[in-house]
Amino acid sequence: MTKTPLDIHTIRRDFPILNREVNGKPLVYLDNAATSQTPQQVIDVIVEYYSSYNANIHRGVHSLSQEATDAYEQARIKIQEHFNAAQSHEIIFSSGTTHSINLVANGFSSLLKKGDEILVSAMEHHSNIVPWQMLCERTGAVLRVIPMNDNGELVMEEYSKLLSPKTKLVFCNHVSNALGTVNPVEQIIEEAHKIGAAVLLDGAQAAPHIKADMQQLDVDFYTVSAHKMCGPTGVGILYGKEEWLNKLPPYQGGGEMIAEVTFEKTTYADLPHKFEAGTPNICGGIAFGAALDYMNAIGFEAIAKYEHELLEYATSALLKIEDLKIFGTAKEKTTVISFNIEGIHPYDIGVILDKLGIAVRTGHHCAQPIMDFFKIPGTVRASFSFYNTKEEVDVLVAGVKRAKTMLQ
């Protein structure tokens, strides 16, 4: 196996939380699919904002407001460049992926009619199911589901059959949060565009591992949360092609999103402000830019290579445990391993692992249809980031073995 080019131990020193103990044990943090940890370089940017130039942005003539505005808009440009959007105004700041998806779903309420069809995949997070169900209730559109197979891969032949002139929208996660599957999004987009349908990709789980290129993908909408990418919670972005963002009505009314207001009529601001009503998470947006700087300095190719090593190492080690089954065995995966041990509830394993200082996620991972497909109540999910180590994988494996001994 090729030696990783990353200096993991130097990288780990950037993350203060990795030095703490949980229940008297060194923390082994393996819940990165829920939220990643934050490096000191990003924490410093947050502290600097509140210490040095905390002010509301846009329209302010005083120096602090101008400094904050410049930093916030510079972060938007960093995000545009990272995701290779054609224009910075195609980057809409939001509170995260869920907010972004709801923004698009709300906008399409005025564009759909009864009998139109929208497609979602069988492996979606609830935030990429519920808004579309609500949209169907409002418009009379019909929700159809792209099925998956026992490996946790979409059945693309069935996807092709589902597409028709009635299909107006296709929604799919780039990477499954519950299984780690990397979906064939290029094919999904290409086939949808052939019949005139728009495509939204939920990029929350992909963005920490894959540097997605909006122009190369030719996707219509893409959503991301900063807290999955070493940034703060409560901030994310919606990328949308300019032509689509201009078609959608504003999601919320208030300050910032207007051009002119009278009691008779209001006209709306140009992009991106049309969708950014109210005072935004200014510090969060600036810190998101800093988090992208941090990850890009390490390099996404190096991150992907090292994380693939971790995935292979952890998968091999866990499969040596008798009665352990991994759910999600797609050929293309990111560093998510969902597993169960026969006869043991995943929650019980998670509790014992926590006593050993090991943080994993248990349950349905906001993806109940996946659990229903496999006829299980949930899984234990270990999800890795570039700051995790093979030694931590060994601790996890030892912990699972101990939990198995105690619970069987």
Can you tell me the distance from the alpha carbon of 39 to that of 37, in angstroms, rounded to the nearest whole number?
7
Phi, psi of 361 (to 5 degrees): -110, 140
- pLDDT tens per residue across span 333-378: 999 999 999 999 999 999 999 999 999 999 889 889 999 999 999 9
Least confident of 75-84, 114-123, 156-165, 248-257: 248-257
What's the alpha-carbon Rg for the chain, to the nearest Å?
Answer: 22
Can you tell me the distance from the alpha carbon of 317 to that of 382, in angstroms, rounded to the nearest whole number?
13
Mean pLDDT, the chain, as a whole number?
Answer: 94
Can you tell me the distance from the alpha carbon of 63 to that of 29, in angstroms, rounded to the nearest whole number?
41
Give the number of C-alpha atoms closer than 13 A to the C-alpha of residue 46, restricted to the C-beta side: 15
Q: Provide the token pair at 56.
A: 């509301």
- Out of 136, 172, 283, 366, pick the active-site residue: 366
pLDDT of res. 5? 74
CA distances from 346 to 36, 319, 376, 381 (A): 22, 16, 10, 9
pLDDT of res. 261? 63
Least confident of 56-65, 225-234, 251-260: 251-260
Q: Is 248:104 a contact under the CB 8 Å cutoff?
A: yes
pLDDT of res. 1? 39
Ranges of H-type helices in 123-241: 130-139, 156-162, 185-194, 214-217
Residue with tokens 């049309």: 274
pTM: 0.94
* Residues 6 or more apart in contact with residue 175 via CB below 8 angstroms: 181, 182, 183, 203, 205, 206, 209, 210, 334, 336
Which one-letter DSSP state was computed for residue 249? P
Question: What number of other Cβ atoms are within 10 A of residue 174's Cβ?
Answer: 25
User: Three-state DSSP class for 134?
Assistant: helix
Section 187-215 average pLDDT:
98
Active site residue 136: no
| pLDDT surpasses 90 at 126 | no
CA distances from 99 to 69, 106, 208, 276 (A): 22, 10, 19, 11
- pLDDT tens per residue across span 267-314: 667 889 899 888 999 999 999 999 999 999 999 999 999 999 999 999
| pLDDT surpasses 60 at 19 | yes
| pLDDT surpasses 90 at 51 | yes
For the chain, list the domains and their CATH numbers: 8-30+300-407 (3.90.1150.10), 43-296 (3.40.640.10)
pLDDT of res. 249? 86
pLDDT of res. 2? 44
Can you tell me the distance from the alpha carbon of 277 to that of 252, in angstroms, rounded to the nearest whole number?
6
Using 50, 70 and 90 to split pLDDT, how confident is the model at 4? low
Section 22-39 average pLDDT:
98
Residue 63 host element (H or E): helix 63-83
